[in-house]
């Protein structure tokens, strides 16, 4: 019976659709893009099929091609679809008023981000009240090891899941303060979990400080993080702890809205 069902199911497969999905999955791993030749070599599909499929996906705005380098990459349309499919999409709706209140209290830009694969992604932001502010587009990706969003979420995931995300990962150095050792980063995550909020001491962008905290769903799983970001002169180390506690309280308010009952 099982074999019959499997055969029946396989008879409805659409080869070109399968190849298209394989191309999308391949490009999701190779975020810097691949040429048509590299895609063909990686997937062992014919040149004509690869050309037709990628051309169609480019025409429909799911892929984009750099005419100079000939590299093909995923488009923001794919990213937007991914974001809209997240179960906790209501996070944005539940968070926006709290984010505005946090901005009004601390005056700094407030970001909301989630994990998508091995990267973080900005879902929403509320701009600073100050004339000089950091603006980041929705959908912008961020590295997990150099960001408070990444640290806040990874610190509260089950250890096995965090290890899986970090396995074989190279921690790129962006500034002199970036943590580049997996061992040191795991120690940092322990500290984040103990105090309840995370710091970015100019680890992603020199001179830019961030403080953030995790957001939990009703199961107690960290599903997002909120944080403030500002030039180091407006957000000195001496204020990290006090503002960290404030942000953690606002994050807890969002968590409560999502059904989180606390530990």
Instruction: Say yes or no: 188 and 237 in one domain.
Output: yes
Instruction: Say yes or no: 124 and 226 in one domain.
Output: yes
Q: What is the mean pLDDT of residues 171-185?
A: 95
Region for 75 from its dihedrals, namely left if φ exceeds 0, alpha if ψ lies in -120 to 50, beta otherwise: beta
Indicate whether 17 pLDDT > 60: yes
Tens digit of each residue's pLDDT (9 = 90 or more) over 213-242 = 999 988 888 999 999 999 999 999 999 999
DSSP letter for 131, please: S
Residue 129 three-state SS: coil
Rounded percentage of the chain residues whose pLDDT exceeds 90: 60
Label residue 198 by pLDDT band (50, 70, 90): very high
- What's the pLDDT score for residue 1? 43
Indicate whether 8 pLDDT > 70: no
**Structure token pair of residue 232:** 């180091």
- What's the pLDDT score for residue 235? 93
Q: What is the mean pLDDT of residues 145-149?
A: 95
Measured distance CA(154)–CA(145) in Å, rounded = 9
Measured distance CA(250)–CA(257) in Å, rounded = 11
Rounded percentage of the chain residues whose pLDDT exceeds 70: 90
Instruction: Say yes or no: 231 and 132 in one domain.
Output: yes
Residue 169 belongs to what domain range?
83-257
Residue 150 lies in a domain: yes
Would you tell me the crossing angle of helices 36-43 and 47-59 to the nearest 10 degrees?
A: 120
Measured distance CA(122)–CA(25) in Å, rounded = 21
Residue 110 lies in a domain: yes
Q: What is the mean pLDDT of residues 161-165?
A: 90
Indicate whether 138 pLDDT > 90: no
Q: What is the mean pLDDT of residues 1-20?
A: 62
Better-scored residue on pLDDT, 201 or 87: 201
Residue 242 lies in a domain: yes
CATH code at position 35: 1.10.10.10
Domain boundary pick from 74, 101, 123? 74
Q: What is the mean pLDDT of residues 240-255?
A: 96
Better-scored residue on pLDDT, 4 or 162: 162
Instruction: Say yes or no: 164 and 183 in one domain.
Output: yes
Q: What total of structural domains would you count in the chain?
A: 2
CA 106 to chain centre: 24
Label residue 188 by pLDDT band (50, 70, 90): very high
Q: Is the pTM of this model over 0.85?
A: no
Average pLDDT score, the chain: 87
Q: What is the mean pLDDT of residues 5-17?
A: 61
CATH code at position 139: 3.30.450.40
Tens digit of each residue's pLDDT (9 = 90 or more) over 28-72 = 888 789 999 999 999 988 999 999 999 999 988 889 999 889 999
Which residues have a Cβ under 8 Å from the Cβ of 53 and sit 6 or more positions away?
Answer: 16, 19, 20, 23
**Structure token pair of residue 31:** 């975020």
Read out DSSP for 73-104?
EE-HHHHHHHHHT-GGGHHHHHHHHHHHHHHH
Tens digit of each residue's pLDDT (9 = 90 or more) over 67-118 = 889 999 988 667 656 555 555 457 888 899 999 999 999 999 999 999 887 7
Residue 220 lies in a domain: yes
Label residue 192 by pLDDT band (50, 70, 90): very high
- What's the pLDDT score for residue 81? 62
CA 148 to chain centre: 11
Nearest Cα to 156, choosing from 213, 204, 203? 213
Indicate whether 162 pLDDT > 80: yes
- What's the pLDDT score for residue 258? 86
């Amino acid at each position: 019976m099982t074999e019959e069902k499997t055969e029946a199911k396989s008879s409805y497969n659409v080869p070109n659709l399968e190849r298209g999905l394989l191309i999308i999955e391949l490009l999701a791993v190779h975020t810097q893009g691949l040429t048509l030749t590299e895609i063909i070599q990686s997937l062992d599909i014919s040149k004509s099929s690869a050309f037709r499929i990628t051309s169609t996906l480019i025409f429909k705005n799911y892929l984009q091609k750099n005419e100079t380098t000939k590299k093909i990459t995923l488009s923001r349309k794919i990213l937007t679809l991914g974001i809209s499919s997240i179960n906790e999409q209501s996070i944005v709706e539940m968070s926006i008023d709290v984010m505005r209140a946090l901005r009004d209290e601390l005056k700094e830009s407030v970001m909301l981000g989630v994990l998508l694969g091995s990267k973080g992604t900005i879902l929403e932001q509320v701009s600073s009240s100050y004339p000089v502010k950091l603006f980041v587009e929705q959908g912008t990706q961020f590295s997990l090891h150099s960001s408070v969003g990444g640290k806040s979420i990874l610190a509260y995931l089950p250890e096995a899941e965090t290890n899986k995300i970090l396995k074989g990962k190279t921690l790129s150095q962006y500034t002199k303060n970036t943590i580049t050792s997996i061992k040191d980063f795991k120690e940092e995550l322990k500290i984040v979990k103990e105090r309840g909020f995370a710091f970015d001491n100019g680890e992603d962008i020199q001179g830019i400080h961030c403080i953030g905290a995790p957001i939990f769903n009703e199961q107690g799983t960290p599903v997002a993080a909120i944080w403030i970001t500002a030039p180091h002169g407006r957000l000195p180390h001496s204020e990290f702890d006090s503002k960290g506690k404030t942000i953690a309280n606002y994050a807890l308010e969002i968590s409560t809205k999502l059904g989180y009952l606390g530990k």
